Amino acid sequence: MQLVTSDIGRVFNALGDPTRRAILDRLTLGPASVSHLAGPLGVTVTAVGQHLQVLEETGFVRTEKLGRVRSCRLDPAGFRTVEQWAADHRALWARRLDRLGDLMAEEDDEA
């Protein structure tokens, strides 16, 4: 289930959708079934199922089917991916940000 760097886009896309964020928010209150998730969201259970698939693939949700009910809960993996990205980029961005003075003068390495 290990996600590689190129999948970071998928992770951010997952978080970009409001319905998916709503699902995650709901899950912070505790596990829920597909239909329990669908109710308050005003979308069909089918739609929720589709969202759950991408949330699962990106490591935000883990689900388990018990009988006819699929129980969904948060998975820390996706969250960690985001924190990892932030950690990896913090230094990179910081190095740039304290050079705000000399903006120009570094354009000469271009074609």
For the bound state, the minimum distance from the C-beta of residue 20 to DNA, rounded and expressed in Å, comes to 7
Neighbouring-strand partners of residue 33 = 71
| CA 28 centroid distance within chain | 14
What's the rounded Cα separation, in Å, for the pair 32 and 46? 15
The nearer residue to its own copies, 44 or 89, going by C-beta atoms, is 89
Q: Name which of its own copies, DNA, none residue 88 binds, using a CB cut-off of 5 to 8 Å depending on partner kind.
A: none
Residue 8 binds DNA (CB under 7 A): no
- CA neighbor of 60 nearest in space, from 90, 109, 16, 106: 16
Which two tokens mark 107?
A: 């354009």
- CA neighbor of 1 nearest in space, from 77, 101, 66: 77
Q: Which residues bind its own copies (CB under 8 A)?
A: 8-10, 12-13, 15-18, 21, 27-28, 30-33, 36, 39, 64, 71, 73-74, 76, 79, 82-83, 85-86, 89-90, 92-93, 95-97, 99-100, 103-104, 106-107, 109-111
Q: Which residues bind DNA (CB under 7 A)?
A: 13, 16-19, 33-36, 42-47, 49-52, 54, 65-70
